[in-house]
Structure 1
Amino acid sequence: MRAKQRKRKKWLWIIGGGLLFILLSAGIYGYSIYHNVKQTANLMHEPIERSISEKRPEPISLEKREPISILLMGVDERKGDRGRSDSLIVVTVNPNKKSIEMVSIPRDTRTKIVGKGIEDKINHAYAFGGVEMTMATVEQFLDIPIDYYIKVNMESFKDIVDAVGGVTVNNPFTFTYEGVTFPKGEITLDGEKALKYSRMRYEDPRGDFGRQDRQKQIIEAVIKKGASFSSLVNYDEILTAIGKNLKTNMTFEQMKDIQTNYKDARQQIEQLHINGKGRKINGTYYLIVPEKERLAVSNKLKEHLEIDTTS
């Protein structure tokens, strides 16, 4: 047992979620677990057509600890239907500043859909052109490179929460959603309740912005739970849930590099917000984000990525 512990390898699992985006860290002990992790990573791997972002002149160097960005996509795919992205969260990771910044893009945000030539809700990009079109559209909207994506089916996300033994969050107010009452204060949620907790929108006085905060609460809770030693007890269940429910363009080797060079970024997580005003255009509701607001968020992310800001 001690010999296995000396072989300990820590991994940064970045799990994206349909309604949340997940960063899960877990320690890996011994060859058999290492082998299973590698198999899971290979099962998750789903490359995209482009090799690097058009907004990044040179390929990213994980060995040099260059800040990276990840698009977490929660989708509602069903058999025979690609679906739409129910949740889009951009995560920037800066190991030099030992910090992570997260921003949810409201799904009703009106913007140009890259490759489609129209303005529409940003979450429709996935229905039109899948992962590639969504990444390109988010890149244009925020004017930053998107290096990696992680996609998870919303319905399957509850398996991941259950695999880490549930999560604990601090609920700001009491509400009932789909037959479940969530009391104010610290509450512990299994996978199904976590999914409902993160989906409620209309009873929240802050609407979609409140929903986004609850999604990010779940993400942070999974990060902390996944990073704990106790979660290793269920590593088979965790890996099974990840392998079935997640897709990413990260390779196994890139995941290893991220764990080695970026794990300290977990020390500080900052949540950003995109604000706007709702408006109906031709009978359809959109969130209109003022250019000043979009530019402010864009520059904050650029600063964290250590690239030039826009005046």
Structure 2
Amino acid sequence: MHSLPYPLTFEPILLSKVWGGDRLTHFGKKVKPREHVGESWEVADLDETTKGGAGGGSQRSVIANGALKGQTLRDALQHWGWDALVGSARAKGAGFPLLVKYLDARDNLSVQVHPSADYAAKHPGTHVKTECWYVLDAAPRSMIYKGVKTGVTRDRFAKTVSEGKAVDDLVAVPAVVGECHFLPSGTVHALGAGVLVAEVQTPSDTTFRVDDWGRLGRELHVGPALECIAWSNAPSATKLVSGQGSITHVKTDQFTLEEHVLKTGKRMEWARPGRAVVAMLIAGEGELHAEHLGATPIRMGTTVLIPAATASATFDPAMSGRVLLAIV
């Protein structure tokens, strides 16, 4: 069926994890009791995944609306073309250049790192994975671990890991709702128990697990991890301090992440002509108006991919709220 580019919504890909919980129900995800869903993949177009990540094989989001309903994001990319969906400013690749998720950590995530550029260049099949976490909810005294402490060397960290005390050498910061943590590939990190985040990352599922908090049965990858870890401090968190307006949390060669406060009756333009935008409505609800689609109700927890060829996609908030815009 021929169609012109229009904003896409998707069926979430829910992944059970040993550390997962049930708070994603608050964002419209259908989580069964005691299912321990740790991840909801909102926008995905991967040719391959790891067994410890998404179970191996490909993972591609299925379109939930419009003329291409039931087809995959890769189908839309092939149907409309790279320039129309992603934009000519981004070098053409095999699939959509972002992976967007929600993570619900009922328990601690493993201490882990993603491949450095040097490691990925030397090891075909591994991929750099630069990401950021926007904190949506945090239990009292919950923490985020990112980067090694000043003075920690590879030899020292290897010894600490062998003693089962990896977290002792990591920088620990309180998890604060509304803060955004940038994690360049090579940053050793862990999401602490009780934290719920939105995650935007480059499209890779390569993870090297350093420590799993005493849990048994999951493979560790200490050797490769030690080759990848950046022995320096991680970037500081950013926050929309005023509680209103907008802020650019992250700006990299791969993507930009903006946060915008939504106000009742104040229409906001979500499209960025020439660039793809992934909009995550993290609070509030309203109606999206766009060419080739018409008016579409959008609730909290809905993620929308706005193609680069979309000239306008305006959101009318029915109440106050917030939206994250990941721009390719």
Alignment TM-score > 0.5, same fold? no
**Range of TM-score over shorter length:** under 0.3
TM-score, normalised by the number of residues in structure 2: 0.25
Task: Return the structure number with greater strand share.
Answer: 2
TM-score, normalised by the number of residues in structure 1: 0.25
